[in-house]
Structure 1
Amino acid sequence: MPEPTLAAPAVPGTAARPAPARRRSSRHGSNAWAHVLLAAGGVVMVFPFVWQVLTSLSTNAQVMSVPPVFWPGELQWGNYAEVFSKLPFLQEFWVSVSITVVRTVGQLVLCSMAGYAFARMRFPLRGVLLALVLSILMVPSQVYLIPQYQIVNGLGWLNTVAGIAAPGVFSAFGTFLMMQFFKGVPDSLEEAARLDGANPFQVFARIMLPLAGPSLGALTIITVLWSWNDLLWPLVVSTRAESMPLAAGIATFAGRTTTDYTVMMAASVLAMAPILLLFIALQRRVIDGLAHSGLK
């Protein structure tokens, strides 16, 4: 005869656990609200770009109309063709490319070497020099406009790619970014390389630099975005439209005669397209690089 089974007695003071189905429903409800908030934030962030594209395909009468016309009846694709007739777009485009390449290469070389020196090497006045470099992050860049202009003018670099690109070949942020990465590299790798007879430069070039790929990728994207959109400094040192980058050229186009908003928006879309595609393709490297460097 089978023995009767007894139910386990309830422990006093303990609450009954909620049903799994109820927990799942509450979790799904919170996720739904999170998705709604994220979607609303995405719409708010994308709306200016959509408005810019629609403005570039409208007429000036539609742009100036009250109330504003959101969707143009007939798309004016000819506005993009007028960009090349009213602006030296191709010349300004190559100036932007040249400045961006020079600044990016300079920051990758100089900031990586400076970051490695501050993170892994010991030398006199290291703390003082590091404090001076990091103090640049606390001072607005407009403070340096007059001395930088005097230096560039003394070198005869006004209205040249070198004069526009020179102040951006090194940055305190890039040095700090690379220094944070090199601090996280295990000491055993550097010690093993030195036991094999490698000097400090060989350790940097053959051991540290190949490991810094994510941080170098993040620094590349950040420098490209900043250099491509730089406006104030090019306006100071360049006075001819042919020597200006795209950001400065489009800005000066707004005040020459009557402002043609449709052509200006079309030029802005064309100027933004290469960098937007580059960022979409490499945005994972930016996130990985910042994560590896310890920055938040």
Structure 2
Amino acid sequence: MTSTTSDRQAQLAGVAEGEPEVREYRPDRSRKPLVVKVLVGLALAGFTLIFIYPFVWLISASFKPRGEVFDNRIIPDTFTLENYLRVWQEAPLALWILNTVIVTVLAAGTVTISSAMVAWGFSYFRFRGRGVLFGVVLATMMLPGAVTMVPVFLIWNELGQVGTLTPLWAQNLFGSAFYIFLLRQFFLGLPRDLFDAARVDGAGNWRIFAQIALPLCKPALIVTMIFEFQASWTNLMAPLIYLRDSSTFTVPRGLKAMLDQFAFGANYNWEIVVTASVITTIPMIVLFFLAQRHFVQGITMGGVKG
């Protein structure tokens, strides 16, 4: 303290005698050169165009007649709405969308609840072998889907569920290793004293889980539901394996059937295929924009707590 005061007095004395005051130079790192900002902006704009171009092309092709679908023009020479009228006549698209909504809602809801329950058990309860058991759960993510595809099919076949929508969502009743890991990280970030206080007040394990832990982890639950909703909406492999009748097709399975019918047949009606693809993509875009705030919040909190 005395040395600092003496140095400051000597500095003031030098200024009083006419010597310039020496100030420490601290570069302002918050200010970036204009050239760097322009280059970063151009790079981001370029990558944005690269990513959105396929979807823009898909939308443009849906408004073109058959002969102009692949002319690679963003603005159609011949603008028509006939494709959006024909697609509902050529295929039961409304039924396929309804089936997909049923599957995705059930799959997202069941996997969120079941994964949250398992994750809560791994984060709250203390028992011997907890770490080893959690490691085994995470190890299941290393198993390729092809390894369990045949045994799972045989199980559903014995249960008589092949040809129905049940195998597409009922497997989520047992949780998912990735979602269990994600939700466990959120539960570990919650103050344990809060749960201990609730237990002192007479709350049981289920009440603590349902009324305290789940509301505090709402962003993580929303992220889990969005991930699974997107995965189930675009899942093609499972419908190809289990669905036989067109009345039970989901959107991906229906698009595959339309592709087989129109793209490789005698007509080559690609305009119907791209139009159906646009219609079935719009719900996912709307869902992301509606849940964007919760999605970003959940990802951010997961990165901080993880």
TM superposition score normalised by structure 1? 0.89
Q: Which residue of 1 aligns with 2:154?
A: 150
Q: Residue 102 of structure 1 contacts residue 165 of structure 1 at CA under 8 Å; is this kept in 2? A: yes
Q: Give me the whole-angstrom Cα distance separating, in 2, the residues matched to 1:54 and 1:80.
A: 12
Aligned length: 286
1:17-66 superposed Cα distances (whole Å, 9 cap, x missing partner): 77x8x985x4333222211111111111110100000111112211255x
Q: State yes or no: 1:240 paired with 2:245.
A: yes
Runs of 4+ in 1 over 6 A off after TM superposition: 14-18
Q: Which residue of 1 aligns with 2:123?
A: 119
Q: Give me the whole-angstrom Cα distance separating, in 1, the residues matched to 2:138 and 2:30.
A: 49
Q: Residue 59 of structure 2 contacts residue 278 of structure 2 at CA under 8 Å; is this kept in 1? A: yes
The answer for unaligned runs of 5 or more in structure 1 is: none
Q: State yes or no: 1:204 paired with 2:213.
A: no
Q: Give me the whole-angstrom Cα distance separating, in 2, the residues matched to 1:136 and 1:237.
A: 23
SS of the residue aligned with 1:294?
helix
SS of the residue aligned with 1:165?
helix
Q: Which residue of 1 aligns with 2:104?
A: 100
Q: Give me the whole-angstrom Cα distance separating, in 2, the residues matched to 1:49 and 1:131.
A: 40
Q: Which residue of 2 aligns with 1:165?
A: 169
Q: Residue 145 of structure 1 contacts residue 233 of structure 1 at CA under 8 Å; is this kept in 2? A: no
Q: Which residue of 2 aligns with 1:294?
A: 303
1:215 pairs with one of 220, 229, 233 = 220
Q: Give, in angstroms, the shift of residue 156 of structure 1.
A: 0.9
Q: State yes or no: 1:187 paired with 2:192.
A: yes
Q: Give me the whole-angstrom Cα distance separating, in 1, the residues matched to 2:188 and 2:19.
A: 57
1:50 pairs with one of 49, 56, 59 = 56
Q: Which residue of 1 aligns with 2:67?
A: 61
Q: Which residue of 2 aligns with 1:174?
A: 179
SS of the residue aligned with 2:154?
helix
1:131 pairs with one of 131, 135, 139 = 135
Q: Residue 223 of structure 2 contacts residue 295 of structure 2 at CA under 8 Å; is this kept in 1? A: yes
Q: Give me the whole-angstrom Cα distance separating, in 1, the residues matched to 2:293 and 2:212.
A: 24
1:242-271 superposed Cα distances (whole Å, 9 cap, x missing partner): 111101110121112244211111101111
Q: Which residue of 1 aligns with 2:94?
A: 90
Kindly provide the amino acid, as one letter, of the partner of residue 277 in structure 1. V
Q: Give me the whole-angstrom Cα distance separating, in 2, the residues matched to 1:156 and 1:43.
A: 48
Q: Which residue of 2 aligns with 1:73?
A: 77
Kindly provide the amino acid, as one letter, of the partner of residue 183 in structure 1. L
Q: Give, in angstroms, the shift of residue 124 of structure 1.
A: 4.3
Q: State yes or no: 1:34 paired with 2:43.
A: no
Relative distance call for 1:88 and 1:198 in structure 2 (3 A) is: same
Q: Give, in angstroms, the shift of residue 123 of structure 1.
A: 3.0
The answer for unaligned runs of 5 or more in structure 2 is: 1-14
Identical aligned residues as a percent: 29
Q: Which residue of 1 aligns with 2:11?
A: none
1:272 pairs with one of 267, 270, 281 = 281
TM superposition score normalised by structure 2? 0.86
Q: Give me the whole-angstrom Cα distance separating, in 1, the residues matched to 2:26 and 2:180.
A: 53
Which moves more between the two structures, 276-285 or 253-262? 253-262
Relative distance call for 1:166 and 1:23 in structure 2 (3 A) is: closer
Q: Residue 114 of structure 2 contacts residue 172 of structure 2 at CA under 8 Å; is this kept in 1? A: no
Q: Which residue of 1 aligns with 2:7?
A: none
